[in-house]
Structure 1
Amino acid sequence: MQHKIGIYVRVSTEEQAQVADGSIESQQHRINGFIDIKKHQEKGWGKVVETYIDDGYSAGSTNRPAYQRMIRDLKTGKINLILVTDLSRLSRNISDFCDLYKDFGKYKANFLSIKEQFDTSTPIGEMMVFNMVNLAQFERKQTSERISMNFHSRAMRGLVNGGSPLLGYDRDPSNPGKRIVNEDEAELVKKIFRMYDEGQSQNAVADQLTKDCEKRKDLGSKKYRHIKDGRWTLNAIQNILKNYAYIGKREVNVGNKNEKQEYLKAWQQYQIVPAAWDAIIDEKLFARVQKRMTEAHHKERKRFDDGERRAFLVSGSIRCGHCGMALIGQSAHGKTQVHRYYGHRQVVGEKIACPIKRFPAVEIETAILRHLDTVLSEPGYLDQIERNIEKSAGVDKKATKHKFDSLQKSIEKTEREIESIFKLVTNMGSGTAGADLIQDKLQTLAEKKKTLEQELNLVIQAEESAGQVETAKRHIEANAKAVKLSLKKAKPHLQKKLLGALFQQLVATDTGIKVFYHLAESKNLIGNLVKTKKPSEKNSDGDSISSSWRTSQTLGFFSSKSSPIHCVGGGGGN
């Protein structure tokens, strides 16, 4: 049987810098050379169907785009042999490898490592393979621990291990692990601590600094738009006020601050040590600030705990269709009752220019729950969703099947023609007139066969897309049933989680709610299919591969003072 080979190559970021022989190009060269030898030893041994490249991904987990695509192809039968240079390229996690090994048996597939060519059909061969993966996992964890301990050692000496620039300090050019005081910025840091210590709130401090056009530290990143716009935020003030660096201290393992220290190793425990730079703020002032911040936090926590709880089922999942901003739950006190709304999230220093100020929460939530009933109860609704997806994706099952059969026949016909010419050449003596014509004919047929095979691969990909559309429909139905079954009995915070499992995103406009469904197996969006490309994921020909579908279903509604939002129409998407 001819193997349908999937070549898998991978390097992590560290390995790219340290291992020249393990580069992407080197791995591909070694694998292709191995395939040539096997074909020479055994005619028709195998054919390379696809090459999967994960550049800059660790084998400590399966969260790798090319790896996931390879597993999908293995399950659909596109490939039945995974070829790697060594086992550590495939996995450095024994649990992940056990799952993969089960899939090999389930889908009648196999893998082959050039370095460790163990026969897994025997007990000793299988044992050796698992031992090699165990060793790879041990090596990965040992390297990770060694790096962590080195970072800890530097931190205990008061040095920094990278990180963003800090207001009031510059990096020491002679020692990047140290900081030197920036006198101009240090005055601003003192001003911030003094303003808060004198009784101003953190928000008031942020507003005043923005009005005074005080310059923030440039972090050199576009994502910090507040810095580029010259705005001070609550988070910026908080990060400065609680930072021990300003009193010449260094927090070590701050991520483990709230963990039980007795259960951690010595190099994992939270500590505060002297820093390798001078202090800007007096320790007594810093202590007063920390005390006031703690008291303010406790008061806010108490106010929140004592206040009336109001549930907003889609807060965090819904956005405004006009301006794109996130919508969050808000409440307003009327004369006789409290009204719930979904309004734009306020950002310090930004004005909301959206024509729609807010959406009534009851109407939004009623429309969504009614839509959930429609998905499950209206005959043909899910089928209409599936047709919308196929139409948007350009998937035509009948046409695809017809083209597949036609290409298969053309390839078989071309192969018979090539075989006939080979027989003719065998029966003819060398130097026979017309040999050049026969050679040209063979070349033409070979190019024709290659073109047909390329077209066939495209058709196979289209068939896989059709299968994914059907899978998407089944997941929407299964998730909707699970949510509907549990929704009525669940408390509000659980209702929110249940709806979040079904809907990835909701977009509200003045005419409807656009729903983006959430697949159970991945974080892809489902509905009317629009392909989105990931430039980091390439196939063997260097073309971008579309691996996620973004589709939507629109709930039409109208709103007035006397009427709630209503769903209209069936499965039509936009």
Structure 2
Amino acid sequence: MIKVRCAIYTRKSSEEGLEQDFNSLHAQREACAAYIRSQASEGWTLLAREYDDGGISGGTLERPALQCLLGDIAAGLIDIVVVYKVDRLTRSLLDFSKLVETFDRHGVSFVSVTQSFNTTTSMGRLTLNMLLSFAQFEREVTAERIRDKIAASKARGMWMGGVPPLGYRPDGRSLAIVEDHAALIRNIYARYLELGCVRRLADALERRGVRAPQRVTTKGKAYGGGVLSRGQLYFMLRNPIYAGDIAHRDTVYPGLHEAIVSRESWAEVQDLLARNRQGRRSGGRAQSEALLAGCIVDAGGQPMASTHTTKGTVRYRYYVSKDLHHRRAADGVRVPGREIEALVKETAAQLFAEPWTLVAELGIPPSPALMRQLGETCAEAAGQLRSRRGGPLRELLREVRVHGDRLEIALSRRALAQQLGASALVAEETEDTALVLTAPYRLTRSGNTLRLIQGDGARISAVPDTALVRLIILARQWWDQLAQGEIDVTTLAGQAGYTPSYVTRVVRLAFLSPKVVEAVLAGRQHSRLSPATVRSSIELPAAWAEQEAMFLVG
């Protein structure tokens, strides 16, 4: 008699009842084993290995026991697969066709104990496909009903299960406040409004030794106890449950539970989170936009929002006081974004130009190892700070406060020590006070564009003033025509549509020193030389040395 090797496959969709001594999987196995024994005269023999999937849906083939079964089939260890019902094998018609193809390829049949099918005939396959279609339909309808019930329950403010957010515990179809944990949530919201930056909030909590409270699931599994990451903090700050609401997809409903934070605090936090996201793009350029977002405030301590305007194909970024940006006030601060970022980066980079002065300022005790590495470390840090993305600037910054004539740049002493590779030399109990740098500046206007000028008159960013470059080109063209002697200033002015006095003032630029012209093309000239000064009656020295002394920086 030919020996027919039979494998029993069992499955249950939910985990409910699996902890019992005799559960649904055992019942399926007993029925299948009894059927195999009834076919002993045909040579059927039950294999010892068990293929049981408990708590896994039949809508997927990614089931551990099923994958083991398919592996043994491919290895030629099984002749017949026995199931209690066809839907134990799968509830998807597409998945069933894949399984039948696999069975046929390896010469394996399958048997349903409670349903009589012969898959070797076309009629048997048709009947089986019809049954599976109804099984798949039943699964999809059940899923729709569950989704509709969850949506309707959440619309009534009910808690529909899952892991409760920190600060709450399940209380029937609602949530009850865990006061110890709720105090931490309130502190996180208050500290974020104070610091204005999630990164700084995470650092502050870690320095104070604040950890996520340890909690235990209903099944006795412990979790929590680690450092609160920025991702966790973002989730807490954005979770509407803390304001007493229940979210379902894109809709928020009033919840039955009590709020932990007030509506006012919740709204302020969402507004600040939205402002801090401004100016950032997706992809590789995200870090180069709005470098100071979340760190920059005006003289009154009011956060400044990142905004922009576009002229043609050129995009100009600005930082604007919140109330001015939202048109709640007529007064406020508005500074060009790219140039103020350049000034902050340059000021921070210059701090590393005198390494030993910085070490003394931070109170770091000198050591031979520190002496050997300090020069190279500071040069590398300065280069990174001057880069487009600012290197470690965000880690160093505590705050940038914009006054009418200066910036106050507050840097973290602990982060500076870490940048020098000397954080281990700073005592743990030392308070991380800010090191405040001052950078004088003034605002000027070139056409309709705001420019930031340093205290010594140098422009912040090395970007050529296109209006001034065009005037120099025009001056040389006009001088070439006048030098030929075939036209005078009055005629030339009439042809160009300007007054003779304006043409005379512009033509003076044709006699600029070559070094001054090079500085203009590089965007490094003194702020005294601009389209506005050209249009005025300022005296332009004839000697190139005097021009260079007046218009070159440093």
TM class by shorter chain equals: 0.3 to 0.5
The structure having more radius of gyration, on CA atoms, is 2
TM-score (norm 2): 0.47
Q: Tell which has more relative contact order, 1 or 2 (C-alpha 8 A, sep 6+).
A: 1
